[in-house]
């Protein structure tokens, strides 16, 4: 076989693999859509009958302007009658309450739970299909599949779902995250295949380095984990407001009650978000250091305040402030949560805003 024929065959093979990758990504989107509707069904069929204890733990029945004292029960103790008042749940610490977690999106309903299990199964299937699509893209370009924003997007959504599936496999109570995750993944993939799509191509010489595998892969993983933390933080703010309203004797709306009473308690959401962000922060630090080392290899300097570098550092500072705030008594709870959301907003701008609207040395990869 001549060199020209071999080159033509390789090009045709790569184009075929690229087409397979595109087909698999679209197929994954279709399965994610089915999972999305299954999660919707889980929430719709979820019963609220088993979560009234959350409201009962936070509120006391009132009669006019005076609150009634909790009823007492009589327990026989030998020949003596003992009056025992039920335990009254109070604020155990600043920003936290000792209240039970909700049962989940299914609300304890068997039919809702069935739809939830179907949704998880579809999510796992979509994850495997999308993963095959990412691998096919890698084979078509004969390199790591994150050389441009399209490849970064499909890889990012795959890793985000992978983190969710891994947490489920570890028996963590995160199935409530499924609806929010599939919604975001569908938006992410829709943006990737319409606005950000880039045909398979080779990298510019500066990107031909093993640091591509180290720096970009850790950045993708960090972004996926930080996304999980951001969703948890946002839900914490809603759940905390819901609990505050119940404590004040207010009556939240029907929709808010139906959704929020099934989520974990605000303290659980806050703790989960903090643990996720704290666990990935050292890896984000390593990502920035790895990028600086790669920059020295590619451009002859470790740091040049390129827009991407600047916003990566701003993101690092924001999350460092969040973690520091969590260790300071006056900045726990909602105040720290606002910092966490601002920090994730910096991460989003670093990815989308800088890449699309700000020029710099990192722009050569294209969209």
pLDDT at 78: 52
* pLDDT of amino acid 305: 82
Q: Tell me, what's the pLDDT at 94?
A: 45
CA-to-CA dists, residue 310 to 34, 100, 313, 350, 351, angstroms: 40, 42, 5, 9, 12
pLDDT band of residue 209 (cuts 50, 70, 90) is confident
**Helices 266-299 and 307-326, packing angle to 10 deg:** 150
Please tell me which residue, 98 or 296, carries the higher pLDDT value.
296
- What pLDDT is recorded for position 193? 92
Residue 345: pLDDT over 70: yes
pLDDT of 47 above 70:
no
Q: How confident is the model at residue 117 (pLDDT cuts 50, 70, 90)?
A: very high
82 phi, psi to nearest 5 deg? -110, 125
**Greater pLDDT, 133 or 308:** 133
Residue 53 has pLDDT above 70, yes or no: no
Mean pLDDT of 152-170: 94
Q: What confidence score (pLDDT) does residue 203 get?
A: 66
Average pLDDT of span 277-306: 88
pLDDT of 204 reads 63
The predicted model scores a pTM of 0.81
Task: Name the percent of the chain lying above pLDDT 90.
Answer: 44
Q: In which region does residue 96 sit, left (phi positive, over 0), alpha (psi from -120 to 50) or beta (all else)? A: beta
């Amino acid at each position: 076989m001549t060199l020209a024929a071999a080159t033509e065959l390789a090009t045709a093979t790569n184009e075929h693999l690229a087409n397979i990758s595109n087909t698999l990504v679209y197929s994954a989107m279709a399965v994610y859509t089915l999972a999305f509707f299954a999660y919707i069904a889980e929430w719709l069929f979820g019963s609220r009958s088993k979560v009234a204890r959350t409201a009962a733990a936070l509120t006391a029945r009132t009669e006019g302007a005076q609150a009634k004292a909790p009823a007492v029960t009589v327990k026989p103790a030998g020949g003596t009658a003992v009056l025992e008042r039920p335990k009254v749940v109070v604020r155990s610490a600043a920003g936290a309450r000792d209240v039970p977690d909700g049962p989940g999106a299914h609300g304890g309903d068997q039919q809702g739970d069935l739809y939830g299990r179907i949704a998880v199964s579809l999510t796992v299937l979509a994850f495997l299909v999308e993963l095959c699509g990412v691998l096919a893209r890698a084979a078509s370009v004969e390199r790591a599949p994150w050389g441009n924003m399209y490849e970064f997007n499909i890889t990012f959504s795959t890793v985000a779902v992978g983190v969710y599936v891994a947490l489920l496999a570890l028996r963590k109570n995160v199935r409530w995250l499924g609806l929010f995750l599939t919604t975001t993944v569908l938006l992410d993939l829709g943006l990737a295949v319409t606005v950000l799509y880039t045909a398979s191509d080779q990298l510019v010489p500066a990107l031909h380095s093993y640091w591509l595998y180290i720096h970009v892969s850790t950045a993708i993983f960090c972004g996926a984990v930080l996304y999980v933390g951001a969703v948890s933080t946002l839900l914490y703010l809603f759940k905390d407001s819901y609990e505050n309203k119940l404590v004040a004797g207010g009556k939240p709306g029907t929709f808010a009650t139906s959704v929020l009473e099934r989520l974990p308690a605000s303290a659980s959401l806050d703790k989960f978000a903090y643990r996720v962000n704290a666990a990935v922060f050292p890896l984000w630090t390593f990502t920035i250091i790895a990028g600086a080392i790669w920059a020295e290899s590619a451009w002859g300097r470790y740091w040049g305040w390129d827009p991407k570098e600047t916003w990566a550092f701003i993101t690092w500072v924001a999350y460092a402030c969040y973690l520091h705030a969590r260790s300071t008594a006056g900045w726990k709870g909602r105040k720290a949560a606002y910092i966490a959301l601002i920090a994730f907003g910096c991460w989003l701008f670093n990815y989308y805003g800088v890449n699309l609207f700000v020029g710099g040395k990192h722009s050569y990869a294209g969209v």
